[in-house]
Structure 1
Amino acid sequence: MIDVLVVDDDFMVAKVNSTFVERVDGFRVVGTAGTGERALAAVGALSPALVLLDLYLPDLFGLDVLARMRARGHDCDVIVISAARELDTVRRAARRGVSDYLLKPFDFDDLRLRLERYAAQREDHGRAVISGQADVDRLLGGPSHPAVLPKGLSVETSELVGRALREAEGSLSASECAAVVGLSRVSARRYLEHLYAAGLVQVSLKYGGTGRPERRYRHRG
């Protein structure tokens, strides 16, 4: 199991995020914290493998919390979950070695895909020997290395989904992509969301009369 600390100043948001984490196989929440100082204390007491870190905390900026964690010798991984969209903030987070950066608001699938990708990267990090360039690419996984696939997804099918998007005239819904590739809608959406998380796909929302808006996917570039 991968132990997770959830840090957010909003109690209800922390509760929702914790519920999301518990729904992903292989992850469990060992604690929550609502301030930077409490987060630092919890990291020291609980030794989580992963911290889901909000940036707008009442006492400390999240990236300053990360800096203090490292200064105290804590090497747990960090996924930033924040509404902060400033380019400089994202760059600072990347320079400080965060594993991922998820913008609020998000839904369960957005977080699940990132946790599954993190778990795949973590498994690769446990290898004692690098056998080739592909292993290096996985270890340096991120938006430019979509080969790090969540559990249950295959490289071959991911390439088929990507090709369907590249050849489409306009955008595709998960159902339309599923029909082209020959997958179930649920499977197609998992691949599409993975490509979106990897920065290879753009997502737009199509609003209808009732219900949730339809997510539509377009190849980036």
Structure 2
Amino acid sequence: MNKISVFIVEDEPIVLEVNIGFLEKMDEFSLIGMSTSGKDALEKIKKLKPKLVLLDMFLPDISGLDVLVQLRTERIPSDIIMITAARDAGTIQEVMRLGAIDYLVKPFRFQRFQQSLQNYCKMVGKIESLQMLNQEDIDKWLGNSENGIDLPKGLNEFTMKQILLGLGSAEPPITAEQLGQNLGMARVTVRKYLDFLAGKDKVQIELQYGNVGRPTKYYSLK
């Protein structure tokens, strides 16, 4: 497989430098362009048609969300990983509905960046190696079977993906209540998904004991 072409949209010079440095550590990818504003990014992306765009949400002229909408409207064949400080559930849901393949919350570590791009690289390799995909392949591509997890009745794929994205973007470990606040979900709902993931050995639980009462559960991805 040829190197995957990447275009970075980021208006903060330090963050841009960090993202470029992260990308240069990954041999499967090649940076073909960058921009510090939304309108300039749209022009260059339409011309260069990168395979992958790392797109900041907050830009000086138009928002990254506006850029994403325009790219989708014009059917530009670029996949999007959104990079932003926005953590509200409404924004995350909107971005996911528009087809972003991942959502990285600033500040993030190289391990999370690497995980996101490696997963994308595997997906691209799988799709390019096959003319026809079976249901399992499609589920993995769409994120409908995270790490091979079959969801029981009462748990849905969309919420599970939000939980996993939120957990991966948070500073670990985190409580169900904290994650619920980040995602705009009820603590009880979040805990149900987290405990299910822990039972599947996808999430690690740490117990912290206070002076009184039950211990507090802290969750992190394995």
Q: 2:147 maps to what in 1?
A: 146
> CA 1:109–1:218 in 2, change beyond 3 Å: closer, same or farther?
closer
**What secondary structure, in the 3-state scheme, does the structure 2 residue paired with 1:42 have?**
helix
Structure 2: how far apart are the matches of 1:70 and 1:38? 17
Query: Residue 111 in 1 paired to residue 144 in 2?
Result: no
Structure 2: how far apart are the matches of 1:203 and 1:115? 26
**What secondary structure, in the 3-state scheme, does the structure 2 residue paired with 1:128 have?**
coil
Q: 1:124 maps to what in 2?
A: 126
Q: Which contiguous aligned blocks of 4+ residues in structure 1 show a shift greater than 3 angstroms? A: 216-220
Structure 2: how far apart are the matches of 1:219 and 1:14? 27
Q: Are 2:72 and 2:98, in contact at CA under 8 Å, matched by a contact in 1?
A: no
Aligned length: 160
Output the aligned Cα RMSD.
2.8
**What secondary structure, in the 3-state scheme, does the structure 2 residue paired with 1:57 have?**
coil
Deviation of 1:69 after TM superposition, in Å, equals 1.3
What letter corresponds to residue 128 of structure 1 in structure 2? Answer: Q
> CA 1:87–1:218 in 2, change beyond 3 Å: closer, same or farther?
closer
> CA 1:218–1:103 in 2, change beyond 3 Å: closer, same or farther?
closer
Q: Deviations over 1:133-159 (max 9, x none)?
A: 3222222226x42249xxxxxxxxxxx
TM-score by length of 1: 0.65
Structure 2: how far apart are the matches of 1:203 and 1:97? 31
Alignment of 1:141-220 (within 5 A): 141=143, 144-147=145-148, 200-201=202-203, 218=220
Q: Which runs of 5+ in 1 are unaligned?
A: 149-170, 172-194, 205-215
Selected match of 2:75 from 73, 76, 88: 73
Q: Are 1:9 and 1:57, in contact at CA under 8 Å, matched by a contact in 2?
A: yes
Q: Are 1:80 and 1:98, in contact at CA under 8 Å, matched by a contact in 2?
A: yes
Q: 2:32 maps to what in 1?
A: 30
Paired-residue identity, %: 37
What letter corresponds to residue 28 of structure 1 in structure 2? Answer: S
Deviation of 1:218 after TM superposition, in Å, equals 4.5
**What secondary structure, in the 3-state scheme, does the structure 2 residue paired with 1:136 have?**
helix
Structure 2: how far apart are the matches of 1:38 and 1:219? 37
**What secondary structure, in the 3-state scheme, does the structure 2 residue paired with 1:146 have?**
helix
Structure 1: how far apart are the matches of 2:204 and 2:65? 27
Q: 2:41 maps to what in 1?
A: 39
Deviation of 1:73 after TM superposition, in Å, equals 2.8
Q: 2:187 maps to what in 1?
A: none
Q: Which runs of 5+ in 2 are unaligned?
A: 150-172, 174-196, 207-217
Structure 2: how far apart are the matches of 1:136 and 1:81? 25
Q: Deviations over 1:161-212 (max 9, x none)?
A: xxxxxxxxxx8xxxxxxxxxxxxxxxxxxxxxxx99xxx43688xxxxxxxx
Q: Are 2:49 and 2:77, in contact at CA under 8 Å, matched by a contact in 1?
A: no
Q: Are 1:21 and 1:27, in contact at CA under 8 Å, matched by a contact in 2?
A: yes
Q: 2:162 maps to what in 1?
A: none
Q: Larger deviation: 31-40 or 132-141?
A: 132-141
Deviation of 1:217 after TM superposition, in Å, equals 5.9
Structure 2: how far apart are the matches of 1:97 and 1:14? 23
Structure 2: how far apart are the matches of 1:120 and 1:73? 23
Structure 2: how far apart are the matches of 1:21 and 1:65? 22
What letter corresponds to residue 71 of structure 1 in structure 2? Answer: T
Q: Deviations over 1:18-50 (max 9, x none)?
A: 110111121011111111001101102221100
Structure 1: how far apart are the matches of 2:22 and 2:32? 14
